[in-house]
Amino acid sequence: MRIKLNVLTLALLLCACLHGFATHAELLVKKQRFDLAEFNTFAGKTIKQVAIGYESYGTLNADKSNVVLITHYFSANSHAAGKYALDDAQAGYWDAIIGPGKAIDTDKYFVISIDSLANLNAFDPNTITTGPASIDPDTGKPYGLNFPVVTIRDFVISQKLLLESLGISSLHAVVGASMGSLQALDWAAAYPSWVPRMISVIGSGQTDAWTTSLLERWAMPIRLDKNWQGGDYYAYIAPQEGLVESMMAITLDALTPTFINQVGQSPEVQHSPLQTQPLHDINASFAIVDWLRERATLRVKHMDANHLLYLVRANQLFIAGYHQNLAAGMQRVTAKTLFLPASSDLLLRPYLAEEAHATLKQQGKDTELIYLDGIYGHLVGVSNIAQQADTIRQFLAN
């Protein structure tokens, strides 16, 4: 059956896919702040005066043994569940599975999520992060590209420092989607005594040559924008056109031909190879391209172009355990692991999770892999995560 979608429905659906479906949230949350005088990166650089935002849901028990860490995806922040105010239009992106009585039950677990370094949403008032747009205390100016390269391991280390500041010395589980899944698996490899359970959603064990090349396409529109100026644009005009083009590419890669073609067939878009304006004007855009651009333009309001470049590089540099090969990096994992790839994923393709799962299985580890289904591709791991709610609940309980 062909789905008929009007423009409003399409906008709501894409927003839901990219930010989580709005539900009747039972949680009210607030952003909290953690500060470090300095942070030493995996590559051996020092960042001064680091600030990191976080949110928590539920109550920490007496022996601090009920902590579930949620690690967020590329374009998200730590707003994983709940709302900041009752009239918020959207709840956190995984509100479908985090909350009282839900799969990640906040009546049982203390759930915490933490903003990444160089978070993409650098200008969002509900994001607290240190990255290229931050002020370098040594110069009084934004870092720009003088900010050190950061890795997924750096995100993990910063999270561990925050948890330790709260008196936490172990986790019940770590759970993450997409870029968050990379962090979750590296947690299990880097700090095995902390992690008895790990769930990787739409994830990977390492970034292979194909995925590295795909990610580079996200960076190039920014570098080619005349306003980028080698990353030194903070006193001038930001490279918003390049950032919009990058977000268009990210959106397209995260979805599927099935979904995009349904959009194209809608009455509001009416895609045709012989659309009149593109036929007569080389500068005219097809309606489906305009649809993508409009949505990307809305998304970049609080984003920073340099931050996107740093997140691309962090993802490109990923291999769980940070050894020369995946098998060596995973050798220290003692957690039981659950991989939930999306069968329609064209971004972090299922073979990447299958490789990580197979590596652990060959090493005699307790690991399971179950596929998520749906037409939304990579975004199934956000929008359709509730289809495996019972699996996640049982995994955390055992």
**63 CB neighbour count, 10 Å cutoff:** 8
For residues 174 and 126, give the distance between their C-alpha atoms in angstroms, rounded to a whole number.
Answer: 23
Task: Give the burial class of 240: count Cβ atoms within 10 A of its Cβ; 0-12 exposed, 13-18 middle, 19 or more buried.
Answer: middle
Cβ-based burial of 368 (10 A; exposed 0-12, middle 13-18, buried ≥19): middle
Cite the beta strand spans of the chain per DSSP E. 32-40, 46-57, 67-71, 98-99, 104-105, 110-114, 135-136, 141-142, 173-177, 197-201, 336-340, 367-369
35 catalytic? Reply is no
Catalytic status, residue 124: no
Tell me the two tokens of residue 382.
């956000």
Cβ proximity of 381 and 387 under 8 Å: no
Instruction: Please tell me the distance from the alpha carbon of residue 264 to that of residue 274, in angstroms, as a whole number.
Output: 13
Strand, coil or helix: 25: coil
Task: Let me know if 345 is a catalytic residue.
Answer: yes
Given the residues 19, 172, 307, 378, the one annotated as active site: 378
Q: Which of 72, 345, 357, 383 is catalytic?
A: 345
Q: Say what the alpha-carbon torsion angle 86, 98, 200, 10 is, to the nearest 10 degrees.
A: -40
The residue from 56, 134, 178, 344 that is catalytic is 178
One-letter identity of residue 308: L
Catalytically active residues, by annotation? 178, 345, 378
